[in-house]
Structure 1
C-alpha cells in the first residue's frame, strides 16, 4: 500500500502523471490538469517529500519509485494506463514502461534527459547548495533556470517578486533526495528497450536542461516522435495550452 498523496480526477483512459525534481503535481502539471482531465482519468501522485507525500528515510531508487507509482495506478483500479513524465519524472516513466510493459500503453516524455551533462550537473549542484541558504535566494535561482528569457522579460517586477515568493513558500522538503537521485540517473540501457508508442517533447528555450538532451532521448527510443515547444523548462507555466494538446493528441491516437 503506497503512502503517496495522489490526485485522481477526470474520466477516460488512465493517465499517470510524474512530476520533476523539486516540484509537485500542482507546480509541474497544475495548469494542464483541467484539459487533460477532459480526456483521461488523471492519476497524479506527489513524489516522496512533495505535496502532502511523506519523505522517505532512505535515498530514492528509480526502480522502487517506478514500481510504487505503478501500484498507485493499479490500486486506483486501472490495469493499464498511459504515462506522462516531466523532467526527472521522465526517468521514472521510462523505468515503469520497461519494468511493466504489460501495463504501460504509451509514453509522453517532456524535457527528458538520458543522463545529466556537465552543464546540467553544475546547475543541479548549485540548486542543492542553495537548499541550505535563504529560500528567497533559491527561489530567484529557480526562476532564472526554469523560465525562458523571453517569458521573464514579459513579467513586471511585481509579478517576478510574486512568483519568487510563491516558489519560496512551496519548496518541497524532499528536494535534497530528488536532486540526489537526479545525479544517478542514466537511461542509456533502458531507452532502447521501450516498446510503447512514445512522444518526446523538448523545450527550445530550456535553460535548465539543454534541448539537445531531449533529442538524444528520442534518438534512443525505437520509433519515437520528437517535437518541441518555444518555452523554458517550466512548460506548464509558459505553454500550458500547446503542451496539453500535444499530450492529448498523441495519446488519443495510440
Structure 2
C-alpha cells in the first residue's frame, strides 16, 4: 500500500534538510577557546532549532504519524468504497473507512466521529485500546477527510446513516455494534432506528443532543456570540482556540497560532461549504424523526458533566426516553470532547457494555470517577 506525502510536507522536508545541514555544520565547528564564542554558537544552534520547529507543519506531521500508527501498530488499513447511497443512482459517493487488515473473531464495532475532525483524529486515544477487543471500523463520514465525498445534494442525517450502513454492507459485515459521538451520535441513532435497524446490535451514544428538538438546538446555537459555521468550522486561530475551549474542560494551555493555522488548513478548508450545509440541515431537522423513536437496542449513553455544547440534561432526557434498556454513565471533569478528555473511562465503559454486561431492570446512571 502506498502512502502519498502531501506537497506541503515535501517542502517542509526540504527546509528541514537545509536547516539540519546548517545545524550539523555548526555542531562540527572547531571548539573556540573563549566563552563568548561558545555562547554565540549555542545561540546560533537555538535559533536554527527554532527555525526548524516553526517551518515544520506540526498538524501534517501528526496526521501522517497517526496514519502510520494505524497501519503499522494497529493493523488498520484505509479502504475507499464507492457507495450506492440512495441519492437517485446518478450521484457518486465515496467513503474512506479504516478497517482491520486481517480477519479475526473479535466482535465488529463501527465508530462514528463528530464535526471536530475525521476518524483518525477523533478516535486517536480510543483505537489502540478498543482494537484489542473489537474488529474496529472507523469511517470518515461524507464530506469529512480528503476522500469521503459525494456529488449528491443530500445533507441529512438519514443520508449519512445510509452511507455508513452501505459501507458496512460492502465490507461484508452483517451484524455490528455502533458507537457515535456528537454528530456521529445522531448518525448512529438514525442507523439503529431506521437505516440499519436489523444490523445494529447495541448502541453507544456520546455527548449527542439527539433528544433535543430542532427548535431547542437552534436556540442553543443562537445563544452563541458567533454563527454556527464560525463556531464549528473556524477559519482563524482565534476561532479554533474558541472551539477547543468550548469542547474541552481542560484545554491545552499552549496553543500557538502557527499550530492552529496549520490544523485549520488540514481539517477545515476542504469541503467546508458542504459541511456548513450539513450543519444547517442538522439545526433544521435534527435526526429527521418527529417524535424521536424509542430504540429496541440496548443503549449506553456517556456524557461529560462539563459539556458546554450539549448540556448533560440532554443525556438524562435520552436515558428517560429509552428506559430500562439504556444505561447512563457520566464522566466527571470532562467536556464535549469526551473521547479525548475521558478516554480511559470511555474505553472501559464501551468494553464493559459491549462485552461483559447486559442491561436489565434496575440499571441506572453511573459516574466515572477520575
TM-score of the two chains, using structure 1 as the length reference = 0.87
Shift of 1:76: 1.4
Query: Mapping of 1:117-156 within 5 angstroms?
Result: 118-120=219-221, 122-123=223-224, 126-129=227-230, 134-148=235-249, 151-152=250-251, 155-156=252-253
Deviations 1:83-112 (A, max 9, x none): 001011111111111123221100000001
The residue that corresponds to 1:229 in the other structure is: 331
**Per-residue deviation at 1:165?**
4.5
Gaps of 5+ in 2: 1-81, 84-93, 359-370
Aligned residue in 2 for 1:112: 208
- What is the root-mean-square deviation in Å for CA atoms of aligned residues? 2.5
User: Offset of 1:214 from its aligned partner?
Assistant: 1.7
Q: 1 CA distance for matches of 2:242 and 2:172?
A: 40
| Separation of aligned partners in 2, 1:107 and 1:130 | 28
Match for residue 243 of structure 1?
346
Check conservation: 2:300, 2:328, Cα contact below 8 A: yes
Q: Is 1:213–2:314 an aligned residue pair?
A: yes
Q: For 2:160 and 2:235, how far apart are their aligned partners in 1?
A: 30
Confirm whether residue 170 of structure 1 aligns to residue 170 of structure 2: no
In terms of Rg, which structure is larger? 2
Could you say if the C-alpha distance between residues 139 and 132 of structure 1 is closer, same or farther in structure 2, counting changes exceeding 3 Å?
closer
Cα distance in 2 between the residues matched to 1:156 and 1:50 = 27
* CA apart distance, 1:191: 3.5
- Picking from 107, 115, 119, the partner of 1:21 is 115
1:4 and 2:95 matched: yes
2:279 to 151, 171, 179: 179
Number of residue pairs the alignment of both structures matches: 248
> Are the aligned partners of 2:232 and 2:243 in contact in 1 as well (CA < 8 Å)?
no
Structure 2 SS opposite 1:30: coil
Question: What SS class does the counterpart of residue 345 from structure 2 fall into?
Answer: helix
Tell me the residue number matched to 2:170.
75
Alpha-carbon distance in structure 2 between the residues aligned to 1:167 and 1:203: 25
Partner of residue 36 from structure 1, selected from 130, 147, 159: 130
Residues in 2 aligned to 1:14 and 1:52: alpha-carbon distance in whole angstroms? 25
Conserved? CA contact 1:13–1:40, under 8 Å: yes
Q: TM-score scaled to structure 2, two decimals?
A: 0.61
Contact 1:25 1:45 in 2 (8 A): yes
- Partner SS, residue 150 of structure 2: coil
C-alpha separation between the residues in 1 aligned to 2:259 and 2:314? 27
Secondary structure of the residue that 1:5 maps to in structure 2?
strand
Indicate yes or no: 2:304 matched with 1:203.
yes
Q: Distance in 1 between matches of 2:191 and 2:239?
A: 31
Shift of 1:196: 0.6
Q: Is the 8 A contact 2:125 2:339 kept in 1?
A: yes
Shift of 1:39: 0.9
* Alpha-carbon distance between aligned partners in 1 of 2:281 and 2:226, rounded to the nearest angstrom: 12
**Higher RCO by CA contacts (8 Å cutoff, separation 6 or greater):** 1
